[in-house]
Amino acid sequence: MRNNTFFIILLKMRAPFLVIIMTYTIAIIGLVIIEGVDSNGNPYRMSIFDAFYFVSYTATTIGFGEFPYTFTYPQRIWVTFTIYLTVLGWFYGIGSLVSLLQDKLFLQEIEKAKFMKQIKNLDEKFIIILGYNQITKKIITKAIAQGIRAVVVEKDSLKIEKLMLESFTPTVPVLRSDTLSVRVLESAGLTKKNCKAIVSLFDDDMVNLKNTLITKTLNKNVKIAVKATTINHTENLVDVDADIIVNPFSIISSEINIALTAPNIFKLEKWLYKIDTLSAPLRIFPKGLYIICGYGRMGQKIFEKLDKNNIEVKFIEIDPKRGKELSADEKNYVVFGNADDRDFLVQTGIMDAVSIVAATNDDTTNLSILATAKKLNPSIMTMARENDLADDFLFKSANVNHIFTPSKILVNKVTNALFNPLCDLFIKAMISKDNDWASGLVVDLIQEINDNPLILEIEINLENAPEIYKYLKTQEELDLKILATSLHNREKLNNLIPLLLKRENDTILLPTLDEKLKIGDKILIACDEHALSDMEYICENMYEFYYALTGNEKRTIFKRK
């Protein structure tokens, strides 16, 4: 995107410039032609410079007097005409300048020039956020906490003003653009080497698909996190090599499925997303009749998982117009009616149901449905879809058993995949395990560490673990146990549990401390603060690494000059 500021100035101010030049020219020519007299009464004509000097201070209303000699009457008549002519010319020019400074297009170009300068000088790692809202605000906050800058492209001026009021530190460069074209994304820094990712979480799947195509065409090394709402678009995004594809409704249904079949895996997932601790009550989803209110994308996804687990489901759809869209099979289990009407809920079987799911796209409707259902059946388990983060307080006050917020899911999934890729990989891998495996891991984590262990990701390379890297470079063997060594007493091990080891195309869950380390290994470790500190020292400090390796203190020998 080129800088058009100078071009706009020329375009808008061309006529005022010409008017001022013409008025000055007419005034100067008149003063040069009209004859005056000097102090001795001799004929005198002003030079072009004298005339220009006189018109300059006269036209600007400064006024130093008649120059260089007292004017004759013909000169005074011309000067009178010149005053009105040039002052009107300046008024027109100043008015045009004020209009230019208020011109939206000009102001946009000024902002673009400022933005492009910020991007040019941006040397830190950064991600590009397309669109600013409650979701992307949280992603920006988490990115900054990880030491990663953020760049925003937004079309709504009001949203840009809200972003400015947030006062992010460091600042977040923002570009206002009505479209998301190749040129716009290039201007946002997509082709720069330090651009690490781009986030496109629009509700329109086609927009997300287009952004993915542009990204992968301009810079294949940049990760792209996109939102998908249908299976078809998910497959399309996979075909164009999208790195992180998030379908919040699929994730919600998967969480319900995990809670039904392996609740301890669900507990581990909540801990990794920093939502709950490992000592939080186990989320048990009862088996029986489930009533789902809202036959939309979320409701249908939940139904797929419940049906897979042979759980009886009844659907209530509030909008009768949707009946025309349903197939013959769907009409067998979908009824239409007011889901917060007591009599209707009783007829639907609320008294025999073990759970009710309010999955409409309106928060007020969802809260009303659950309140009515709870009065009719106090023991029923309630689940709700929270559409707007601003309603968080209302849902928590309503004592809903399980709140599913698509926007929070987007934030958790995207930030975890971008900033904690090993953690995201571990979540994907552990889903294939059973509840007993997860239960054993939960017990081990609590007993060995605590109920809320810290998570550390280590990559064996020169940047992140220079001491281990240099040691392995000599082709010496080194066990994973080196990372668990206590720097207070080498004979003891710190409180940590390796969760995952990623080595080229292999992924090892819960590797043992006897596992041999290799250059390029990526390790996910659960630990406490003390173990975290020791591991960082072992990886980066030559003296601490030497002690952990040998048990001896490494001495520095200073040579005399």
Percent of the chain scoring above 70 in pLDDT: 97
> What average pLDDT score do residues 292-314 get?
90
Distance between CA atoms of residues 225 and 418, nearest Å? 8
The pLDDT score that the predictor gives to residue 561 is 42
Average pLDDT for 513-519: 94
Residue linked to tokens 């601790």: 277
- pLDDT value for 448: 95
Least confident of 101-110, 145-154, 366-375: 101-110
Which helix (H) or strand (E) element contains residue 497? strand 496-503
Higher pLDDT, 559 or 464: 464
Residue 556 has pLDDT above 70, yes or no: no
Candidate from 203-217, 322-336, 417-431 with smallest mean pLDDT: 322-336
Q: Is the pLDDT of residue 445 over 50?
A: yes
Q: Model confidence at 332, in pLDDT bands (50, 70, 90)?
A: confident
Helix (H), strand (E) at residue 139: helix 134-145
pLDDT at 530 over 60: yes
* pLDDT tens digits for range 39-48: 888 999 999 9
Residue 3 pLDDT: 52
Mean pLDDT of 426-444: 94
**pLDDT attached to residue 555:** 65
Q: Which pLDDT value is given to residue 374?
A: 94
Is 287:281 a contact under the CB 8 Å cutoff?
no
pTM over 0.85: no
Question: Three-state DSSP class for 26?
Answer: helix
Amino acid letter at 405?
T
CB 16 within 8 A of CB 97: yes
What's residue 143's pLDDT? 94
User: Given pLDDT bands bounded at 50, 70 and 90, which one contains residue 104?
Assistant: confident
CA distances from 330 to 313, 323, 348, 395 (A): 12, 9, 16, 30
What average pLDDT does this structure show over 368-384? 94
For range 314-323, the mean pLDDT = 82
Is the backbone peptide bond immediately before 43 cis, with ω within 30 degrees of 0? Answer: no
Average pLDDT for residues 223-245, to the nearest whole number?
Answer: 92
Residue-wise DSSP of 429-465: HHTTS-HHHHHHHHHHHHHHT-SS-EEEEEE-STTT-
Q: For 49-63, 451-465, 485-499, which range has the lowest pLDDT when averaged over its residues? A: 49-63
| Residues of the chain above pLDDT 90, percent | 64
State the average pLDDT over residues 250-267.
Answer: 90
* Pairing of β 496-503 and β 522-527: antiparallel
Residues 392-421: what's their mean pLDDT? Answer: 91
- Burial class of residue 39 (count of CB atoms within 10 Å of its CB; 0-12, 13-18, 19+): exposed
Q: What is the pLDDT of residue 112?
A: 84
Chain mean pLDDT for the chain: 90
* Residue 372 pLDDT exceeds 90: yes
Q: Give me the pLDDT at residue 559, please.
A: 43
CA-closest candidate to residue 337, choices 398, 295, 297, 307: 295
User: Which amino acid is it at 91?
Assistant: F
**Res. 520: pLDDT tops 90:** yes
Mean pLDDT of 477-484: 94
3-state secondary structure 65-95: CCCCCCCCHHHHHHHHHHHHHHHHHHHHHHH
Q: What is the pLDDT of residue 103?
A: 80
pLDDT at residue 405 tops 80: yes
Task: State both tokens at 224.
Answer: 């792209």
Instruction: With cut-offs at 50, 70 and 90, classify the pLDDT of residue 518.
Output: very high
Question: Which residues partner with 141 through β-bridges?
Answer: none
Pick the closest to residue 184 from 136, 218, 159 (CA basis).
Answer: 218
By the 8 A CB rule, do 129 and 153 touch? yes
pLDDT at 218 over 50: yes
Among 15-24, 236-245, 327-336, 448-457, the least confident range: 327-336
The 3-class SS string of 163-177 reads HHHHCCCCCCCEEEC
pLDDT category, 389, cuts 50, 70, 90? confident
Task: Tell how strand 289-293 and strand 313-317 pair up.
Answer: parallel
Confidence tier at 1 by pLDDT (50, 70, 90): very low
